[in-house]
């Protein structure tokens, strides 16, 4: 904390001009000086220093939070990009599965048709030989 300025010589001279003896003036000056040295009182300058320190800390915190916000924004962009890629991959997988299921359905239809045709021909031949 800043010390309060106290000029003991000036105080002694001032007290002497009002008619006090030199010894009394010195004693009073020393008492006042010691009281100022011991006093733990904040001055306006001390309070202003603390306010400046607080303002500096706030500015520093604001700057750091802005950096953190920017980092979060970058992470969100990265995640969005990655999710878009995953969505594209899922869409490709769905297309592939749809194509494979369509081919499988067509293949099963052809096989079933062939089997039914074979059964019809077989039954027709059996009926022809059984008559």
pLDDT (mean) for 117-126: 94
CA–CA separation, 44 and 120 (whole Å)? 111
- Dihedral angle, C-alpha 18, 20, 21, 26, nearest 10 °: -100
Cβ neighbours around 29 below 10 Å, total: 20
Q: What is the pLDDT of residues 56-86, one digit of tens each?
A: 999 999 999 999 999 999 999 999 999 999 9
Determine which helix (DSSP H) or strand (DSSP E) holds 37, and give its type and residue range: helix 22-38
- Model confidence pLDDT, tens digit, residues 25-36: 667 777 777 666
**What's this model's pTM, rounded to 2 decimal places?**
0.42
Count Cα neighbours of 7 within 13 Å in the Cβ-side half-sphere.
6
């Amino acid at each position: 904390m800043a010390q309060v300025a106290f000029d003991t010589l000036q105080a002694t001279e001032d007290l002497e001009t009002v008619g006090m003896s030199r010894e009394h003036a010195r004693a009073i000056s020393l008492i006042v000086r010691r009281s100022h040295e011991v006093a733990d009182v904040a001055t306006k300058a001390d309070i202003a220093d603390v306010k400046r320190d607080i303002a500096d800390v706030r500015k520093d915190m604001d700057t750091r939070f802005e950096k953190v916000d920017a980092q979060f924004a970058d992470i969100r962009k990265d995640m969005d990009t990655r999710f878009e890629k995953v969505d594209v991959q899922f869409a490709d997988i769905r297309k592939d599965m749809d194509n494979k299921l369509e081919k499988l359905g067509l293949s099963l239809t052809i096989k079933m048709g062939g089997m039914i045709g074979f059964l019809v021909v077989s039954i027709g031949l059996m009926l022809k030989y059984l008559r």
